Amino acid sequence: MINVVAAFEKHWSAVAGASLVAGWAAVTAVFAADPNPTTVRDAAQYIGVNDCALCHKGKKVGDQFDKWQAGPHSKTFEVLATPSAKAVAAKLGIADPQASGKCLKCHSTAYNWTEQRQTTTIKPEQGVVCESCHGPAKNYVPRVSTDLVLEDPLGQRSLMDFLNPFTLRAKTCYSIITMDDRQKAIRAGLIYPAFQSCTRCHNEQSPTWKPDRYVTKEGKHVGFDLRQNFVKIAHPMPSSQ
């Protein structure tokens, strides 16, 4: 059996620019849709985008957090305040789309695909965060407690330093977020490749759905095309040097 995940990872580590859309036929055949889009995800297992950012910021990881922040998913709540969104909502009898669960079930991870807010860990205004695509992270991003020794490396302390307990030699307990190897994370609940989640919202239930919005590489008219949309949010890990 072909290891599709490994093939996908190898592909993304070597591509850039226009070549991002190459070699998708075999992969999208398997992962074009959520295997079970009706599955309820446990909102209590969300850790929130701020925790995700701790490990996914910076050049070392391909500026993944910054790419999300600059991309369309982080702005899905803002979009609901636009005149066009308000016009669509008005046709459905919705006065304020930013306050409506009918809209927020897809425009905010905090609603977890329901019409009621399901978690306070994620704010509605944060839009669609990492865990909408990759799944609730508490099980695959374990927290590990350890001891940290804080001390003045220069051995120089002013009176203010002396009065500040955090500059003295002290022990404190803190949490490190660490993710095991990818296969272990997948077994623990990580959704990867993440585009298994796309059709939970990008489907005919959307009030702005157009069945012929896109033309696929093969010339077929469809309402959602994974190839064309995934490149807009792509955030692969950099190639190892």
Instruction: Note the pLDDT of residue 141.
Output: 86
Token representation of residue 47:
């850790």
34-59 average pLDDT score: 85
Residue 157, pLDDT > 90, answer no
CB proximity list for 69: less than 8 A, separation 6 or greater: none
pLDDT in tens, 56-96: 999 999 999 999 999 999 999 999 999 999 999 999 999 99
CB proximity list for 163: less than 8 A, separation 6 or greater: none
Please report, for residues 36, 44, 114, 202, the alpha-carbon distance to residue 107 in angstroms, rounded to integers and kept in the order given: 20, 19, 11, 11
Supply the mean pLDDT for the chain. 78
Report yes or no: 75 and 68 within 8 Å, Cβ to Cβ.
no
Token representation of residue 115:
């019409």
- Choice between 185 and 19, residue whose per-residue pLDDT is larger: 185
Residue 235, pLDDT > 80, answer yes
pLDDT band at 239 (very low <50, low <70, confident <90, very high): confident
138-153 average pLDDT score: 60
CA–CA distance, 130 with 48 (Å, rounded to integer): 8
160-171 average pLDDT score: 49
Residue 241, pLDDT > 80, answer no
Residue 3, pLDDT > 70, answer no
Q: List the domains of the chain with CATH numbers.
A: 4-142+178-233 (1.10.1130), 143-176 (no CATH)
Lowest mean pLDDT segment, chosen from 52-61, 81-90, 99-108, 202-211: 52-61
Instruction: Note the pLDDT of residue 188.
Output: 86
